[in-house]
Structure 1
């Protein structure tokens, strides 16, 4: 299992960029798998929990929500943070995609009820523009291959 903290230790600058994008306040979308295998997308918010030995990327699901039921049955997910400003085709800081497995950690603690999950990372990807803003850049990290990058016209 790979925590966000392990990712951050392996690639601190890339983790800082992707975490900033995930926390910038733009709506996030998570894709889960329904019982019949078809995809479901839902809005979601994430938190970075520093209370344990490693920082965890975590999120919750309201009581009875289908995304929580989906994840308890099949923990695979993909999370997407779209570019903040797409007016005029600008990617701004870019977008981030995170995929992995959502591990159920029990009921949410505190005043909000529901299910709590933490993330076992399998990939973190960023798509944006190069410094000259004339090429698309894709950077992605996996626990087995580390950080890779390609540029496209």
Structure 2
């Protein structure tokens, strides 16, 4: 299992930037798979605690049922548009994909299921310093950190 702690150890600056984007807004988006294999998008809250990325699902929620049946997921930070004229200050957006590992009930707060992330990929998309190129950085447990720039 690959935890958030593993990402932090392998690529600390990259992990810091990704986590700051996830922590910047309370609400994120999660993609799960329905029983027929089609995608489902749901709102979600996440937490980085003790080197783990965790998230929950309320009782009888469709996303929780999806994750129990097929644990694959993709998380996306809140989307913020670049400010015209200040594009270089755009923080970008981040995504984390993996498998949800059921970890029991949510210990604090509403009833529901708690999941930990077994991370398979982390992606950070942003602009270069001159705001002329799109920079896509991604990390996987197998290949580590890589990057590509696009016009």
User: Shift in Å at residue 39 of structure 1?
Assistant: 0.5
- 1:20-52: CA deviation from partner (whole Å, max 9, x where unpaired): 0001016311000001111000001100111xx
Match of 1:7 in 2: 7
Structure 2 unaligned regions, length at least 5: none
Query: Separation in 1 of the partners of 2:128 and 2:116?
Result: 32
- 1:53-108: CA deviation from partner (whole Å, max 9, x where unpaired): xx100000011100000001100001111433345494810010110001001111
1:96-115 maps to which residues of 2 (within 5 A)? 96-115=94-113
Runs of 4+ in 1 over 4 A off after TM superposition: none
Match of 2:65 in 1: 69
Count of equivalent residues:
149
SS at match of 1:131: coil
TM-score scaled by length of structure 1: 0.92
SS at match of 1:120: strand
Structure 1 unaligned regions, length at least 5: none
TM-score scaled by length of structure 2: 0.93
Match status 1:60 vs 2:56: yes
RMSD over equivalenced CA pairs, Å: 1.5
Query: Separation in 2 of the partners of 1:43 and 1:82?
Result: 10
User: Shift in Å at residue 124 of structure 1?
Assistant: 0.2
SS at match of 1:8: helix
